[in-house]
Amino acid sequence: MTRRPDDLQPPNDSNTPQHTSLTVTHTTMSGPLPHPALVEHYERISPGAADRIFTYAEDQLRHRHEIEKLVVQTQSRAVVFGQWIALTVILAGMGLGALLAYTGQSVWAFASLLSPLATVAALFIKGRHDERIERIAKARSV
């Protein structure tokens, strides 16, 4: 059952006006550290608590930086690996095209030379397009 504010006031038996006031305070904090007043309160309750809180926040920040560094390194390695695979596909396709041209099959040689180049070029263009869309989305979210 929900009570309305009228239900919470005592009945007015006298003719004297009654004044009631209500003050509501709302505080919001965001981040790895609690509000300074809370840190001070924790320190009074348990000496050394503030140092433990700050050490915890510093350790979390260090951990986050290590993970971000690992992600960047992994993405860089994936890009380099993809480039090596692309080079291998292009060279294999061109080698096959050269072999087909040597044997006199010029139509298949031409297709074999252009197909890997066109595929890699299309993937490169698509990757750049996806990166641009991602950058725009990040800029809008900030």
Residue-wise pLDDT for 76-113, tens only, equals 999 999 889 989 988 998 899 889 989 998 888 888 88
Q: Is residue 132 part of a domain?
A: yes
Position 86, amino acid: A
Structural domain range at position 39: 34-141
Q: Is residue 88 part of a domain?
A: yes
Q: Is residue 100 part of a domain?
A: yes
C-alpha dist (Å) from residue 95 to 36, 44, 78, 113, 121: 69, 76, 25, 8, 18
Give the number of domains in the chain.
1
Q: Is residue 18 part of a domain?
A: no
Whether the model pTM is above 0.75? no
Percent of the chain with pLDDT over 70: 87
Q: Is residue 58 part of a domain?
A: yes
